[in-house]
Amino acid sequence: MEALKKSMSTDERQIQVRFVTKQEKYALPEAPFSIPCGIKADLLSVLVNNLLRETRETGWEEVEFDFLVCGEFVRLPLAEHLKLKDINTEVTIDIEYLERFPAPEPEDSLNHDDWVSASHCFKDWILTGSYDNTLHIWKTDGSHKTTIPGHCGPIKGVRWIEITGSLATFASVSHDQTVMIWTVDLETYAVERVHIGRGHERSIECVDVDKNSSFLATGGWDHMLKIWAATSDSVLTTEIDDGENHKLSTVNSGKSLRRTPLMTLPGHKEAISSVVWTESNEIFSSSWDHTIKLWDAELGGLKSEIVGNKSFFCVSYSSLNQTLVSASADRHVRLYDARSQEGSVVKSTFTSHVGWVSTVCWSTTHERLFISGGHDNILKLWDSRSPNAPLYDMVGHEGKILCADWSNPSLMVSGATDNTLKIFRSQA
């Protein structure tokens, strides 16, 4: 409060602002206020809390607020923010305020025997893969349920395919050039390897599943994107010139352990680092060749590509806002609108990591929030309206972060070269 009084009583130039909010419970009268042009966000929060306290008949509990001017969070002194946005300070400026997203809380640390290179959450379950060639199943309370051998190389990607009752299906890919499909009884933890997919000629780096849990997409160091059946009755179809639907490939019988790709899509010139299947049956693939490609999974054709200036290590697609975020060797995270018809497809660049950014993942419930992890050992929580600073740094790892996941809205997880998977609980 003293800091606020001191700031408000200085001879610094004043500007006229109007505080507005979309959160009705925090609404203030839309009257203009004079405030110092160099005020910072923390003192703006104190000011709004004081104004709300004065307008409430009952006791007011302090709330932390964030502030938006011209669609971007205020992270600099207000005058500097207005200058960067080229906003006229001679007129009344609307400042939107909203409740600040609460800080994620460290929840647990799951210890492995080697680097944790893959992770995926689904409901109450966490699936991880390690450089010691093993898979692990955990409950979200941190309890370890089973260790699964079978691969003969480091695990690079894992995905739950579906969970029905106590029976779950999941996939894993490895340096051993195979994609494996497994079933597990989540009551007895009896595990069965039901399919082994062979077709890649070098290490497989990534895997994703389509929205219907019918197909898998994989990419690897052979530069190839491959599509596989995730179940015994999956059939991929495509239209040919006569308009008839034909099976692209006969799917293996459920009795067969061996599985071959339904489709192979060439086009990348270096390793494919990440694949993401969208709800409209398209696949994004990122690569060390500095490109992100968008594929039609039904027709098997390349639809578009994004060209960067460094290797891409990961992409994440949000079905809530239809945009991509990417992790890159240039230490930046970028937000893309791959379908943009006007201007650059790069909509924002997020700068804070001081090492390679190795992994990114959108929230599944908050359309503006995503996490990123890097070789600086830090997991960061971002809001797409704050490109110059993350909302929070989540520290605790003592090694480079290799993977991160936010598929469970309540949990953010990250695996690293310190042999741990860290769990942070989302408070909203």
Taking the domains of the chain in order of start, what are their residue ranges? 2-99, 105-425
3-state SS class at 416: strand
Average pLDDT over residues 224-233: 88
Look at the alpha carbons of 39, 40, 42, 44 in this order and tell me if their dihedral is positive or negative. Answer: positive
pLDDT of residue 413: 98
Sheet arrangement for strand 125-130 = 116-122, 125-130, 135-139, 144-148
DSSP bridge pairs for 68? 73, 96
Per the structure block, which two tokens stand in for 324? 């991509």
Per the structure block, which two tokens stand in for 255? 């009795």
> What is the H or E stretch that residue 185 is in?
strand 178-185
Distance CA 399, CA 417 (A): 5
pLDDT of residue 251: 35
Per the structure block, which two tokens stand in for 162? 């579906």
Banded model confidence at residue 243, pLDDT cuts 50, 70, 90: very low
The angle subtended at Cα 262 by Cα 257 and Cα 265, nearest 5°, is 135
Side chain identity, residue 413: V
Banded model confidence at residue 233, pLDDT cuts 50, 70, 90: low
pLDDT of residue 324: 96
Helix/strand/coil (H, E, C) string of 96-156?
EEEECCCCCEEEEEEECCCCEEEEEEECCEEEEEECCCCEEEEECCCCEEEEECCCCCCEE
Do residues 411 and 97 lie in contact, with contact meaning Cβ atoms separated by under 8 Å? no
Banded model confidence at residue 338, pLDDT cuts 50, 70, 90: confident
Residue of 364, 293, 365, 290 whose CA lies nearest to 328: 290
| Predicted confidence (pLDDT) at residue 168 exceeds the cutoff of 70 | yes
| Predicted confidence (pLDDT) at residue 41 exceeds the cutoff of 50 | yes
3-state SS class at 7: helix
Q: Is 207 left (phi over 0), alpha (psi -120 to 50) or beta?
A: beta
Average pLDDT over residues 203-226: 98
Do residues 50 and 60 lie in contact, with contact meaning Cβ atoms separated by under 8 Å? no
Banded model confidence at residue 238, pLDDT cuts 50, 70, 90: very low
Residue of 428, 422, 426, 416 whose CA lies nearest to 130: 416
pLDDT, tens digit (0-9, with 9 covering 90-100), for 94-128: 999 999 999 999 999 999 999 999 999 999 999 99
pLDDT of residue 12: 72
Looking at CATH, the fold of the domain delimited by 105-425 is given as: Methylamine Dehydrogenase; Chain H (2.130.10)
pLDDT of residue 59: 83
Do residues 273 and 287 lie in contact, with contact meaning Cβ atoms separated by under 8 Å? yes
How large a percentage of the chain has pLDDT more than 70? 91
Higher pLDDT, 238 or 79: 79
Banded model confidence at residue 239, pLDDT cuts 50, 70, 90: very low
Residue of 66, 54, 61, 67 whose CA lies nearest to 28: 54
pLDDT of residue 56: 86
According to DSSP, residue 87 is labeled: -
Looking at CATH, the fold of the domain delimited by 2-99 is given as: Ubiquitin-like (UB roll) (3.10.20)
pLDDT of residue 165: 93
pLDDT of residue 257: 86
| Predicted confidence (pLDDT) at residue 9 exceeds the cutoff of 50 | no
Residue of 172, 162, 182, 249 whose CA lies nearest to 207: 172
| Predicted confidence (pLDDT) at residue 242 exceeds the cutoff of 80 | no
Do residues 53 and 60 lie in contact, with contact meaning Cβ atoms separated by under 8 Å? yes
